[in-house]
């Protein structure tokens, strides 16, 4: 069974609907035992880091995620779920889970594209990902694939080797992280059409 973590951070129904479309059973849960005992875990999220971490600690799901990660359960982070796997976030000055060493930064106030045109923050829209290396979750996807982003913050891991993919929006930033049995994407898989479904499908078959 795939556990979709419910920590009151939104987008859970969309993720479960995408899994149903792919033919995979899942459960939306905030139960510690269900998360620790799951075959795979999806850690989605929309919202602010401070509130998200408060909800995780209140329910004990912070400990459940760490325990599942340490025992090798495949985990997929999405958007906010990608940011709060790091040590600390600038958003709300928040201490996070620390599954990947590093921090989360806000985009600079002034951003521009290569032509000098101003870019808005939050970053909203379709962008590509430049992979640094191959990974089973991206099997079958063409390099030109684009994904849907909505965010004002991005992860910055201490170890560059944990950056699987980079996206450019005024600046290059880490949009995919990977470490052992954990992969996390800054974009929304459930809103990214066929490429997003492709990654979800690969995750459901990945053994970590």
Residues marked as catalytic:
79, 188, 190
Answer whether 167's CB lies under 8 Å from 119's CB: no
Instruction: State the burial class of residue 93 (Cβ atoms within 10 Å of its Cβ: 0-12, 13-18, 19+).
Output: exposed
């Amino acid at each position: 069974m795939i556990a979709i973590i419910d920590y009151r951070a939104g987008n859970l129904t969309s993720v479960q609907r995408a899994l149903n479309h792919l033919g995979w059973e899942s459960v939306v849960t905030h139960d510690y035992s269900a998360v620790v005992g799951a075959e795979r875990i999806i850690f989605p999220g929309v919202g602010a880091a401070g509130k998200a971490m408060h909800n995780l600690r209140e329910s004990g799901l912070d400990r459940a995620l760490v325990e599942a990660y340490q025992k090798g359960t495949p985990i997929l982070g999405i958007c906010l779920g990608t940011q709060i796997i790091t040590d600390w976030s600038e958003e709300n000055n928040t201490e996070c889970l620390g599954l990947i060493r590093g921090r989360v930064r806000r985009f600079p106030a002034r951003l521009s594209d290569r032509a000098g045109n101003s870019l808005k923050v939050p970053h909203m829209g379709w962008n590509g990902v430049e992979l640094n290396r191959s990974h089973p979750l991206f099997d079958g996807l063409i390099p030109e694939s684009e994904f849907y982003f909505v965010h004002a913050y991005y992860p910055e891991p201490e170890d560059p080797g944990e950056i699987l993919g980079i996206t450019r929006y005024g600046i290059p930033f880490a949009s995919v992280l990977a470490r052992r049995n954990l992969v996390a994407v800054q974009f929304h898989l459930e809103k990214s059409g066929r490429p997003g479904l492709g990654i979800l499908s690969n995750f459901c078959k990945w053994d970590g």
